[in-house]
Chains A and B, each alone.
Chain A
Amino acid sequence: MVRYGLVINLSRCIGCHACVVGCKNWHGLPAGGPGRIRILDFTLGTDLDINRWILPLPCMQCEYPPCLAVCRFSARVKGEDGILKIDSKRCVGCELCVLACPYGVIAIRTDTHKADRCDFCCDRLAQGQNPLCVDICPGEALIFGDLDDPKSAIRRRMDHANAKTLLKKHRTESRVFYTGLQAFLGFPDAVKILEDEIRGHASSG
């Protein structure tokens, strides 16, 4: 059985928001909504030692998803491929999952008023394609594939580049990994700043 995952190589993310817009375009998401990918954009340090960080946040596709745990309407579905989806027929838009997600990547759609988030483009996977954001990323920062396949590009990248998940302490076992984070994590209070940014407003780019 496949276990899909995503590696985001921060060294190649230039914060261009193509993934955000491409996703809205592919899934026909309404204007005015947050969409399915957040881009954090913030600085650390001061003066010439300043560092700018740009971090894309899709649904982390957790093994132990807090959103699934809190849903009272069984609107959260985990497919055989392990991909979390939302059953929009059952979802009542109560926002509990929005609050439960430590990454802040679930939002209520402005048109259907139901919860919405990334599902790795299931429609494209069924056609043998990558999620759209992976294919269109101008920096080629995203690697998608089967985490259990030792020969897959994603596995090789993870083994090679010391990929890390964000906010490990929540123990959700995210399937979205980041590389190029070393310099960030070496910064005092990095995790706290990241949490603040996640809780804060979505980036204006």
Chain B
Amino acid sequence: MNSKADAFSPQTDGIISTLCHGCSYSGYNCGILAHVQKGVMTKVEGNPEHPLNNARLCAKGLAASQWVYNPNRVLHPLKRRGPKGTDQFERISWDEAMETLVQKIRETREDYGPEFILASKGQAAGWFSLHHLAILRLLHALGSPNFSPWSPYVCYGPQLFYHKLTVGGPTYARPDYDNADLILEWFTSGGQGGPARGGVETVDTNLRSVSKKILDRLDQGAKLIVINPQLIPLAANARCDRWVPIRPGTDGALVLGMIQYIIERSLYDKDFVSKWCSGFDALAAHVKSCTPHWAAAVTGVEAQEIIRLAETYATTPRAAIRFSEAPQKKDLQCFGTALPILIALTGHLDRPGCNIWFQPSAQLGFDVLFHRLSKHQKARVLGGDRFYVRRHGRAFAHFPDVIRSLIDGTPYRPRTMLLYGSNPVNTARDPSRIARALKQLDFLVQFDVTLNPTSCFADLVLPAATRYECGDQPCLWGNHLAMSRRVIPPLGECRDELTVTLDLAKSLGLGKDLWEGDRETMVREFLAPSGVSLEDLRNSGPKGIYLQPRSGMKQRERYTRFFSRLPEGRVQLFNRQLVHEGFEAVPTYQGEPEDLSNAPELQKAYPLLFTDEHSDSFSHHSWMRDLPWLRDLRRHPFIKMHPLTAKVYGLAAGDWVEVESPHGRMVVRLALFEGMRQDTVMGQHGWWQGCPQLGLSTQSSFDGGVNPNVLYPWNAKDPITGDISKNTLVRLKKHSSPQSREITEEKG
């Protein structure tokens, strides 16, 4: 093991300032103070000097000590003993594990070629951009273009893609809460999912909750409108001006209805449209039939309500929309392009209180050796022929194409996969198809903190240390630089997967490409763009270091700059790039394949709409439901349903119910909630974990288990991005309490 990484010894007693790892997207998280007694991390509190959270912390972050001392942790390397699909492993030494891994990678490279080696990183809590870059660099040094950061590229990525394709910019145009008079929460989990963070603009995602900023602004008189099939917690306690309970998967129709009304009534920003948009006439003609009455029939929202919403939004100069991933996936092009069009059309782009672009002072990182790939190697990236992948500039292996290539071998079948903190068997659609794909691999190595359903297809499982056990990791957002520090030494034989990646490179003879395996040198290079030395950052205490803010950060209406990548430098109301690629130029609502308008026949047998919500305050995707303090708050996998609907089907709160779609079944508990559309059943993704301390056993991710992903039509995909539908129709029936199940594959 890399000895330098361990050079600074952990304190045995005291309070260590580090960053929270209850969630993670771009590496910069809430500040946390970890208490250590006799070498044990006993408890945590928020760091009052950290600008993102100023001492605030959410339930996930506060359960950190249970996350670290989780009895389910894998504490030493494991080698497969039983057949794939089972969780039978035997303990082996790190030496044996690394030898096996190095040999497999060598064999694959020599026998097939480097592109047959694939790496993937999930949305694991606490696994930072530094990891992302290190893995990329290793892969490129090996000669493989196939890095598949799959979670971001099957949910968040596609929507961002359409956003940028329509209104340009470096990333999403995010709500400027500080100045907004009207805040539209569009299918967000509002108040759930990391609520302690200070503002969405500080992280590279729109999933983050931004409770404080929104609440501050509401206190100052701003109005809140919630567009969601359910009444989210943010809308509680009389905060919400209006709740628009939309049918899941029909969000695009609502936007089109608003656009139609806004154009018809001339409520759009004529000045902005004439100066900065192209294709207005085509759009206006196209949406002519999308009246509020049409939208009402599709969305289940009254026409009058749609008109009111359109009027309120269009006539409030400082109006911001916070949107998350609406469950309109197969038909994502419609929602993904219509929403930014609505923002632009009404002049709400990059103006105070509207949706604006944020830019950090600097970007940490190092060269990932992309240039080392030959033209041939670059062309071998899986899914590289997609417009979606090409448009990103730098090749990445597109997850749906990875799965397809594993299953049918086209254009070729990867042989070896390195999987970092990811659990696609549970979180991707459809689980049994993912399992089938992973079975095709010669060798799958998984780095994780616990075993999970995906481990059943791994040949080798390496025990990852949590961030609290790893050394220096500089993190930057905006102009604030903070350090993630080691709180305690790794438990058991766990290792920082960064050092494992570096060791691996060294053993493969790629030492010179990866800092001769020296973690500290790598971290220095990563930090270099900030101009701050590693020593200074290490000594910066809980306050961290503030960089000089980039000039022009407060500037708005930066259209010349942010539209520069768009054809003619204008917002694409009529999208020329999409036309050029042979796709529809204007948002056209088609709906999800299994909804009320597209599948009326199906509805006779499966009467209720089904979708699921993302992470909440008590879990991180498929992680953390094994932490008792969090699991206490929500013990069983569940669906939410309106009490009247339940009555119709003879169901009562707390019943175990079988939820059956045309594609699969799951058995979960029924929670009744009056703040739910009556035609909709809402599940939650990520369930499988048991919690031994609470006597709760692990449950299946496959058909008949507790995973909503088995219910969807996995082959209903957005033709451009490959995003998979997460809408279907279901029927319910009462079920006896389920038996405990293994995490292994279904029998037979």
Contacts and interface: CB of A to CB of B under 8 A. Distances in A.
Contacts of A96: none
A28 B43 CA distance: 8
A53 B233 CA distance: 9
B62 A14 contact: no
B237 A52 contact: yes
Contacts of A18: 56-59, 62, 195-196, 617
Given A15-B191, A17-B59, A26-B45, A140 B236 contact: no
Nearest to B58: A18
A188 to B, nearest CB: 16
B674 A16 contact: no
Interface stretch (B139-147, B169-177, B270-278, B629-637): B629-637
A35 B629 CA distance: 9
Among B236, B673, B694, which residue has the most Cβ atoms of chain A within 10 A? B236
Interface stretch (B211-219, B252-260, B462-470, B584-592): B211-219
Interface in A47-87: 48, 50-54
B334 to A, nearest CB: 26
B618 interface: yes
Interface in B15-65: 42-46, 48, 55-59, 62-65
B47 to A, nearest CB: 10
Nearest to A137: B56
Interface string B614-631: 000110000000001111
A51 B209 CA distance: 21
A10 B195 contact: no
Interface in A1-41: 10-18, 20-22, 24-26, 28, 31-33, 35, 41
Contacts, number: 149
A156 to B, nearest CB: 15
Nearest to B231: A52
A136 interface: yes
Given A53-B236, A204-B633, A22 B59 contact: yes
B105 interface: no
Nearest to A35: B632
A91 interface: no
Assign chain A's interface to a size class: 35 or more
A12 to B, nearest CB: 5
Nearest to B218: A11
A125 to B, nearest CB: 15
A147 to B, nearest CB: 23
Contact of B675 (A13, A25, A43): A43
B422 interface: no
B238 interface: yes
Given A16-B195, A137-B56, A205-B618, A11 B63 contact: no
Contacts of A32: 628, 632, 693-694
A138 B237 contact: no
Contacts of A205: 617-618, 633-634
B617 A25 contact: no
B182 interface: no
Contacts of B218: 11
Nearest to A135: B55
A25 B44 contact: yes
Contacts of B45: 22, 26, 132, 135-136
Contact of B57 (A10, A22, A183): A22
A137 B629 CA distance: 17
Given A17-B617, A28-B42, 11 more contacts: A14-B195, A14-B215, A18-B195, A35-B632, A52-B236, A54-B236, A136-B46, A137-B56, A138-B209, A139-B212, A140-B56
29 contacts: A11-B215, A12-B219, A13-B237, A14-B190, A14-B234, A15-B191, A18-B56, A21-B630, A22-B57, A22-B59, A31-B629, A31-B691, A31-B693, A32-B632, A48-B243, A50-B674, A52-B237, A53-B237, A132-B45, A135-B45, A136-B45, A138-B211, A139-B195, A139-B211, A140-B56, A184-B238, A205-B618, A205-B633, A205-B634
Interface of B: 42-46, 48, 55-59, 62-66, 190-192, 195-196, 209, 211-212, 215, 218-219, 231, 233-239, 243, 245, 617-618, 628-635, 671, 673-675, 691, 693-694
9 A-B pairs with the lowest CB-CB distances in the bound complex, closest first: A31-B628, A14-B191, A52-B236, A21-B59, A183-B238, A138-B195, A43-B674, A138-B196, A22-B62
